[in-house]
C-alpha cells in the first residue's frame, strides 16, 4: 500500500508532493519534497530517502535524479522518493545533527511523537513512510568533514530472537548485496551508544527489509558517487522484480555518458566489485585530545592492528597522541577536517 499521507496515486504516473510531516515540533516546517513514481503494473513499494544528514549531497542528488528519470510506465510497483528528510540541516549546512535540537537523527530512530524535533521527525518518517513500504533504502555519504569508500549497512541476523526477525535481516542482506557497492557491513547493535537506533535497524525491527547505503562525501557533489547510488537503487529494484534488465542497462549507460562534474578531491570508488566484501564489525576510532588531526590513512586503505594510523597535535605542533588501529580492517570513513574535539570521531574501520 502507498503511504496514505500522499493521497491517491495514479498507476503509471510520477507525481510531485509537498508534504507537511505530523508532529507539534514540525508544525512550522517548510513542506518536504516527495516524489511518487507509481508503476503501471502492481509490485512492491520501495521508500528511498536521503538527507537524514543534511550535508550528504551525492545521496540527495541521487534521489532527485531517480525522480526525474524513473519511468512509471516501465515499473512494477512504486518508488517513493524523499530527497531531503532533515531539511533544517540541509538549509543551514549543518553536518551530523539537526540544528533545531542538536540531535543526530540517525541515533534516535524509530523516534518519539512527543520527543524533540529529530525524534518527532524520525517517528514521522517511520510511521508515515517506512511502515507502508515493502523495502526501505536510506541513502547517505560522508558528511561535510568526512571522506569514505562506498558501502552498505544492514542489520545482521545475529542476536535476533525470532525467525521473523531473522527473515527480515536475511532479506535486508540480500538487498544490501544487490545494491552493488564494494563493501557490505552487517551489524547487530548500534556502533555508538544512543537513545535510539539507526534508520535501517529501526525499520528492520518494524518488519521492513532495509539498508543504509553510503557514497561520496566532504561536502561536495561527486558525480561518480551519485551514479553509484542511482544504480544501486535500480539494482535493488531489479532484485525485487520491479524493473527488467534491459531498462537497467539503458540507465547505467546513460549515467556513464553523463557529464563528469565531480571534484575528485576524494576517490569515491573503485568500480563496483562483482561481489561485495562482507564485513561484520564496525570499529570506530576516537581521539582523547582536542587539536589538529593528521591522518596517515585514506578512505579505503587497509590497516593492521597496532599500526599507527595518524597523530593528533596541539597548536604548538607538539604531538599529543599517536592514533593506533585497534583492529585489522579497511577504513570505511575518515574525518578529513584537521580540527578535532576531545573524544572526537576520527574514523570507522570495517572488519571482516
Q: Which is nearer to Zn ion, 192 or 305 (CB)?
A: 192
How far is Cα 98 from Cα 76, in angstroms, rounded to an integer?
35
Q: Which is nearer to Zn ion, 53 or 107 (CB)?
A: 53
Q: Which is nearer to Zn ion, 212 or 312 (CB)?
A: 212
Find cell 542538536 and name the residue. 102
Q: Which is nearer to Zn ion, 53 or 173 (CB)?
A: 53
Find cell 590497516 and name the residue. 303
Verify binding: residue 65, Zn ion, rule CB under 5 A: no
Strands 32-38 and 13-19, sheet pairing: antiparallel
Q: Quick one: which segment of 47-55, 70-78, 147-155, 297-305 binds Zn ion (CB under 5 A)?
A: 47-55
Task: Kindly write down the DSSP assignment for every residue of 238-253, as one continuous string.
Answer: HHTTSS-HHHHHHHHH
Give me the least distance between CB of 333 and Zn ion, in Å please: 9
Verify binding: residue 107, Zn ion, rule CB under 5 A: no
Q: Which is nearer to Zn ion, 53 or 65 (CB)?
A: 53
Which of positions 126-145 make contact with Zn ion (CB under 5 A)? 140
Verify binding: residue 17, Zn ion, rule CB under 5 A: no
Give me the least distance between CB of 52 and Zn ion, in Å please: 6
Q: What cell does 1 get?
A: 500500500
Determine contact, residues 119/21, Cβ cutoff 8 Å: no
Strands 41-49 and 135-140, sheet pairing: parallel
Query: What is the total count of residues that contact Zn ion (CB under 5 A)?
Result: 2
Of residues 32, 53, 173, 251, which one binds Zn ion by CB under 5 A?
A: 53
Q: Which is nearer to Zn ion, 117 or 200 (CB)?
A: 200
Give me the least distance between CB of 56 and Zn ion, in Å please: 5
Determine contact, residues 233/48, Cβ cutoff 8 Å: yes
Q: Quick one: which segment of 2-10, 49-57, 169-177, 292-300 binds Zn ion (CB under 5 A)?
A: 49-57
Q: What cell does 76 get?
A: 512494477
Helix, strand or coil, per DSSP, at residue 322: strand
Find cell 541521487 and name the residue. 62
Q: What cell does 73 get?
A: 510506465
Give me the least distance between CB of 153 and Zn ion, in Å please: 10
Q: Quick one: which segment of 48-56, 64-72, 163-171, 295-303 binds Zn ion (CB under 5 A)?
A: 48-56
How far is Cα 186 from Cα 157, in angstroms, rounded to an integer?
8
Question: 158, 157, 148, 209: which is closest to 182 by C-alpha?
Answer: 148
Give the chain's radius of gyration (CA, Å): 20
Q: Which is nearer to Zn ion, 78 or 118 (CB)?
A: 118
Provide the binding-site residues for Zn ion, judged by CB under 5 A.
53, 140
Amino acid at each position: 500500500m502507498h503511504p496514505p499521507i500522499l493521497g491517491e496515486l495514479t498507476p503509471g504516473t510520477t507525481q510531485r508532493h509537498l508534504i507537511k510531516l505530523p508532529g507539534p515540533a514540525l508544525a512550522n516546517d517548510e513542506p518536504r519534497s516527495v516524489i511518487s513514481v507509481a508503476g503501471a503494473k502492481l509490485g512492491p513499494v520501495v521508500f528511498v530517502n536521503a538527507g537524514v544528514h543534511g550535508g550528504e549531497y551525492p545521496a540527495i542528488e541521487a534521489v532527485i535524479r531517480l525522480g526525474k528519470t524513473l519511468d512509471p510506465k516501465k515499473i512494477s510497483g512504486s518508488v517513493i522518493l524523499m530527497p531531503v528528510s532533515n531539511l533544517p540541516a540541509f538549509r543551514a549546512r549543518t553536518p551530523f545533527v539537526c540544528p533545531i535540537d542538536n540531535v543526530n537523527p540517525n541515533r534516535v530512530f524509530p523516534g518519539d511523537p512527543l520527543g524533540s524535533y529529530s525524534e518527532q521527525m524520525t517517528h514521522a518518517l517511520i510511521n508515515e513512510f517506512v511502515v507502508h513500504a515493502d523495502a526501505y533504502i536510506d541513502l547517505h555519504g560522508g558528511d561535510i568533514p568526512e571522506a569514505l569508500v562506498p558501502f552498505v549497512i544492514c542489520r545482521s541476523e545475529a542476536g535476533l530472537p525470532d525467525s521473523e526477525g531473522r527473515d527480515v535481516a536475511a532479506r535486508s542482506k540480500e538487498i544490501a548485496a544487490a545494491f552493488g557497492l564494494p563493501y557490505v557491513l552487517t551489524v547487530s547493535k548500534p556502533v555508538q551508544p544512543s537513545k535510539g537506533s539507526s534508520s535501517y535497524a529501526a525499520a528492520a525491527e518494524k518488519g521492513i527489509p532495509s539498508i543504509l547505503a553510503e557514497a561520496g562525501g566532504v561536502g561536495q557533489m561527486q558525480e561518480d558517487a551519485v551514479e553509484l547510488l542511482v544504480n544501486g537503487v535500480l539494482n535493488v529494484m531489479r532484485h525485487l522484480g520491479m524493473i527488467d534488465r534491459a531498462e537497467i542497462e539503458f540507465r547505467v549507460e546513460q549515467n556513464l555518458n553523463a557529464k563528469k562534474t565531480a571534484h575528485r578531491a576524494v576517490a569515491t570508488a573503485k568500480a563496483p566489485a562483482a561481489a561485495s566484501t562482507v564485513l561484520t564489525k564496525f570499529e570506530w576510532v576516537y581521539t582523547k585530545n582536542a587539536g589538529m588531526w593528521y591522518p596517515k590513512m585514506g578512505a579505503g586503505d587497509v590497516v593492521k592492528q597496532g599500526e599507527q594510523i595518524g597523530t593528533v597535535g596541539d597548536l604548538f605542533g607538539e604531538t599529543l597522541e599517536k592514533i593506533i588501529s585497534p583492529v585489522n580492517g579497511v577504513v570505511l570513513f575518515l574525518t578529513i577536517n584537521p580540527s578535532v574535539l576531545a573524544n572526537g570521531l576520527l574514523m570507522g574501520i570495517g572488519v571482516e
